[in-house]
């Protein structure tokens, strides 16, 4: 009888240990990426839809250029990206997670050297965040699904919105119409 009780105690302790160690490792994954933490503050309700990967995983999946922009908030040099002067019809999707972000019919020639749009397909697909880096006050835009950095939005765009979404070519892929 004592043997049975002992075995029971060992089983319970073992499973408790497993539960607690799982819980801790989850926590570590979230803590390892501060950008993930930022985005949950503004979009907490959509947390379950988010794509969460470690820096190492993103590094394996993305080109070095896309990684630098999307995960390290880099900016490609103006007039060098593949889409700034491309006006083919189609849909621009996030290069990291494929979320449809901008339609070609919202794209306009801004002269700034980066692809520019007056509106996103759906503003819920974008995270807006105040950015005061480089001594400027700007609004950063990120993909709401994967948290990837896309570019910035400014108030000097054309009608109907007056907005200029200034986006890095390297953060997107153009899915041409009819393909």
Q: Which are the catalytic amino acids?
A: 166
- Does position 126 interact with Zn ion (CB under 5 A)? The reply is no
- Per rule CB under 5 A, is residue 151 in the interface with Zn ion? no
Stretch that binds Zn ion, among 15-23, 74-82, 87-95, 157-165 (CB under 5 A): 87-95
* Residue among 53 and 145 whose Cβ is closer to Zn ion: 145
Burial group, residue 145, by CB count within 10 angstroms (0-12, 13-18, 19+):
buried
Binding residue for Zn ion, selected from 146, 166, 167, 174, defined by CB under 5 A: 146
Q: How far is CA 52 from CA 49, 63, 89, 156, 174, in A?
A: 9, 18, 31, 33, 23
148 interacts with Zn ion by CB under 5 A: yes
Q: Supply the DSSP symbol for 52.
A: -
At closest approach, how far in Å is the CB of 14 from Zn ion?
40
Closer CB to Zn ion, 62 or 96, in the complex: 96
* Parallel/antiparallel/unpaired status of strands 164-167 and 90-94: unpaired
The DSSP code for 169 is: G
Binding site for Zn ion (CB under 5 A): 94, 96-97, 99, 143, 145-146, 148
């Amino acid at each position: 009888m004592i043997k049975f009780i002992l075995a029971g105690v060992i089983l319970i302790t073992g499973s408790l240990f497993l539960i607690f160690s799982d819980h801790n490792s989850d926590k570590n994954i979230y803590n390892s990426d501060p950008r993930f933490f930022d985005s949950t503050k503004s979009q907490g309700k959509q947390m379950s839809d988010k794509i969460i990967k470690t820096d190492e995983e993103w590094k394996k999946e993305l080109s070095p250029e896309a990684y630098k922009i999307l995960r390290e908030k880099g900016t490609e040099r103006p007039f060098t990206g593949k889409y700034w002067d491309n006006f083919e019809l189609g849909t621009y999707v996030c290069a990291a997670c494929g979320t449809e972000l901008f339609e070609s019919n919202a794209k306009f020639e801004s002269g700034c050297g980066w692809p520019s749009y007056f509106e996103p397909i759906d503003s819920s697909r974008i995270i807006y965040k105040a950015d005061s880096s480089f001594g400027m006050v700007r609004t950063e835009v990120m993909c709401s699904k994967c948290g990837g950095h896309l570019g910035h939005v400014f108030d000097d765009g054309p009608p109907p919105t007056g907005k200029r979404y200034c986006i890095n070519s390297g953060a997107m892929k153009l899915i041409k119409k009819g393909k």
